[in-house]
Amino acid sequence: MRRKASLILLALAVFLAALAPLLRWYAFPRLVKVPPSEYQTMVLEARNATLLDYASMKPKKVDRISIVQTLKGNVAEAKKVKAEHGRDVVVWDTMSYVADDKGKMVSQIPERYIFDAHSQQPVNADGEHVDGDKVKRDGIAYKWPFLTEKRDYAYFDMQTRASAPIHYKGTRNIRGMEVYYFEQTIPWTKVPVPKKLPLGATPDTVEQVGLERWYTTKRMFWIEPLTGAPLNGEEIHTEEMRWTNDPDKEPLTAFDGHVKMRPDFFEANIDLVRSNRQLLLIFRSYAPLALLTLGSGLLALALLLEARSRRPAKPAKPA
C-alpha cells in the first residue's frame, strides 16, 4: 500500500516540477497581454510656462499649462484588425488636449495606435493616424513591452510622426520599486501644425501668416520592467513658430515648459502599476515557486514512503 502511495506522490511531484517552468517560460509570454478595452486618463502640467497668445500673436508667461491625455481601447476595431492580421491586437484611440491657465483649449491632437497585445510592437493597419495624418509606426508608444530590457528601444514621436531611439540610462528606485530610466532627445524639427487651434485658427491660416512650426523635446520615462508600464514621465518641451519669409526674424515661442504628471495622477499611477505588478509576479514567480516547493515536498514524502515499504518486516516474537 505504501509503495502504491509513493508512486502516486512521485507522479504528482514530477508533474508539478514540470508545470513550474512551463508556467513561467511558456504560458506567461503567451497568456499575459494588454486588455483591448482599457480606458485611462492622465493629466500632466507645465508650471511657469510660456504660451503663444493667438489673439496678440505674442508669447506670454502663464502659471500653468495642462495636458489631458485620454486613452480608450477600441474593441470593435481590434477585432477587425485581428481578423485581417491573425494576431491579438489592441487599438487605442487617444486624445492629447492642451489647455491654458484659464482652461481654454490651446490644441488637441487625436491619434490611433495599433499594437500587438503580447509584445507591444506596432501593427500597421488601416486607420492608424496622428491628427488625421496616416502614419506607419515602427516604434513603441505609451507602453513598453512586458519584461522590459536594459537596452535602447525605438520610440514613436507623435509630433514628428517618426520613431527615434530612446536610450536606457540606468536603474532607479521609486517608492521601493526598481525602475528603468529611459531618455530621448528630439532635435529641432519642422512639424505639422495641429488642426485644432484657438480662435478658429487652422494650419492654412498659420501658413498664410507666413509661419511654420518647429519643435524639440527631451523625453524622460521611468519604466517598471515587469509590466512595461511608465511609473513616471516628463518632457522638457519647446515649440516655435518661425517666419518662412524672413528667417532672420525672431521666432515666436508657442510653448515652452517642463511637463510633469500632476501629483494626484502620479500617486494613482504608482498604486495602479504596483497592483498590476503583483498580479504578474503571482503568475510568473510566486506560483512557479510554490509549484516547485510543493513538488519537492511530495518527492521527499514519496521517497520516505518508498524507503519504508522496502524496510524488512520485523520477525514475529516467539510465543
Structure confidence at residue 200 (pLDDT): 86
142-161 confidence digits (pLDDT tens): 999 999 999 999 999 999 99
H or E stretch covering 293:
helix 287-310
Residue 151's SS3 state is coil
pLDDT at 93: 98
* Contact status, residue 142 vs residue 166, Cβ threshold 8 Å: no
Q: What pLDDT is attached to residue 2?
A: 55
Residue 3 has a pLDDT of 59
pLDDT at 28: 80
Q: Which amino acid is at 9?
A: L
Give backbone dihedrals phi and psi of 172, rounded to 5 degrees, phi first: -125, 175
pLDDT score at 314:
55
- Order of strands, sheet of 153-157, starting from the edge strand that comes earlier in the sequence: 133-134, 129-130, 105-116, 89-99, 58-73, 39-53, 252-261, 229-243, 211-224, 177-191, 162-174, 153-157
What's the first-to-final CA gap in the chain, in angstroms? 28
pLDDT of residue 299: 67
Handedness of CA 309, 311, 313, 314 (dihedral sign): negative
Can you read off the three cell numbers belonging to residue 212? 511654420
H-helix segments, 86-241 = 203-209
**pLDDT (0 to 100) of residue 20:** 75
SS3 157: strand
Phi, psi for residue 139 in degrees, rounded to 5: -140, 160
* Residues forming beta bridges with residue 43, ordered by sequence position: 68
**pLDDT of 317:** 56
- Distance between CA 153 and CA 166 in Å, rounded? 5
Among residues 38, 66, 39, the alpha carbon closest in space to that of 264 is found at 66
Angle among Cα 244, 98, 236 to the nearest 5 degrees reads: 70
Separation CA 141–CA 182 (nearest Å): 13
Place of cell 487651434: 197
- Residues in the chain, pLDDT under 50: none
CB 115 within 8 A of CB 35: no
Residue-range domain boundaries for the chain? 2-24+281-310, 32-261
**pLDDT single digits (tens) 264-292:** 999 999 999 999 999 999 878 877 787 77
**Listed residue (214, 160, 205) closest to 184, CA to CA:** 160
Q: Which grid coordinates are listed for 34? A: 494588454
Total H helices, total E strands in the chain? 6, 12
Residue-averaged pLDDT of the chain: 90
